[in-house]
Structure 1
Amino acid sequence: MIFAKKAMLAAAGVAMLASAVVNAETIEVKGQGVKFAPEVIHAKVGDVISFRNMATHFVESVEGMWPEGAPKMLSAMGADYDYAVEKEGVYVFKCPPHWGARMGAVMVVGEPADLDATVAKYLEVAESVKEAKPAKGLLKKFKESGK
């Protein structure tokens, strides 16, 4: 009896995972000059963010502007890179060599209940942490875009 319940739960979990994979999308982000295109991304858990045209770029998470427990982004210089989204939330990432020119992007995954509070917290980080300062303009652009 216990084995049957465990087997049913496992089958249900596999079915849910398969459903998420079937509904997953690949969202392409390109390095164009010293910008990511697009700069504002809306994704779902299970989607893959596909970085292309990265000849003089790489991608890295912005510290303090990342959902807790979500895997960090870090690619090699000049390499295409795929990031599988595992967790709902607000993500800010950058191209470190071009971060001074504000080369970064904001990604919202799912529909986080605390979206406005998270953006406000990230803006505070941008004000107080020198390394995060370039994110301020991206976050303002994101807020103005109507989310």
Structure 2
Amino acid sequence: MSRHHQLTAFIARGLIAALKPALALSMCAVAGYAMAAMSHRTVDQITNFSVSSASGMFQFAPNLVRIEPGETLTFLNSRGAHTVKSQKGFWPEGAPEVDITGQLEADVVFDTPGLYGVTCRRHGKYGMVMLVAVGDVEPTQEDYEKISKLKASKSAKDGYQRLMWELHK
């Protein structure tokens, strides 16, 4: 190998050695950003005026979310008539309940694994519900029975059942 090639190889090895820590740090930063993006999702509350019936007009978007324990959902537009409320009878035992009213944005951390039924206090009767699946959970017969026993409208119960089927796919 010529002296020129030896010098070039020496410089290249030195550059690689010098850049390894910076490259490792940048990879960690990218991975950390990706994890933060995964652990923080947004749910909007919308009124879709293009729908002719109230049962499809009021929605959480998305209305079905699967997350890991400790992840955060940010709920948007909990103002005016829209709210975010724990569905009594369809919420993991021991998990803190949610009741958001009059806020443009509110964060909720879901630590306890399980299925969480979420409703809008005013529009839940029209089927404005969502399902949050925390951890590696699948709907059980007991979950379907919980839905049938809810003190909720038929539209809300049908909405939860539909979301459970979607989750099960």
**TM-score normalised by length of structure 2:** 0.64
Aligned to 2:75: 51
Question: For the structure 1 residues 146 and 107, does the alpha-carbon distance in structure 2 shift closer, same or farther, using more than 3 Å as the test?
Answer: closer
Aligned to 1:8: none
Aligned counterparts of 2:76 and 2:64: Cα–Cα separation in 1? 16
Equivalenced residues, count: 123
Please identify the structure whose Cα radius of gyration is greater: 2
CA RMSD of aligned residues (A): 2.2
**TM-score normalised by length of structure 1:** 0.73
Aligned to 2:40: 26
Aligned to 1:12: none
Aligned to 1:69: 94
Deviations along 1:24-55, whole A, 9 cap, x unmatched?
Answer: 61111001111000111111101001001333
Aligned counterparts of 2:108 and 2:87: Cα–Cα separation in 1? 15
Aligned counterparts of 1:132 and 1:116: Cα–Cα separation in 2? 21
Residue 97 (structure 1) aligned with residue 122 (structure 2): yes
Aligned counterparts of 1:26 and 1:59: Cα–Cα separation in 2? 17
Task: Verify the 8 A CA contact 2:64 2:167 in the aligned structure 1.
Answer: no
Aligned to 2:52: none
Consecutive unaligned residues of structure 2, counting only runs of 5 or more, are 1-34, 48-57
Letter in 1 for 2:44: K
Aligned counterparts of 1:36 and 1:146: Cα–Cα separation in 2? 16
Consecutive unaligned residues of structure 1, counting only runs of 5 or more, are 1-21
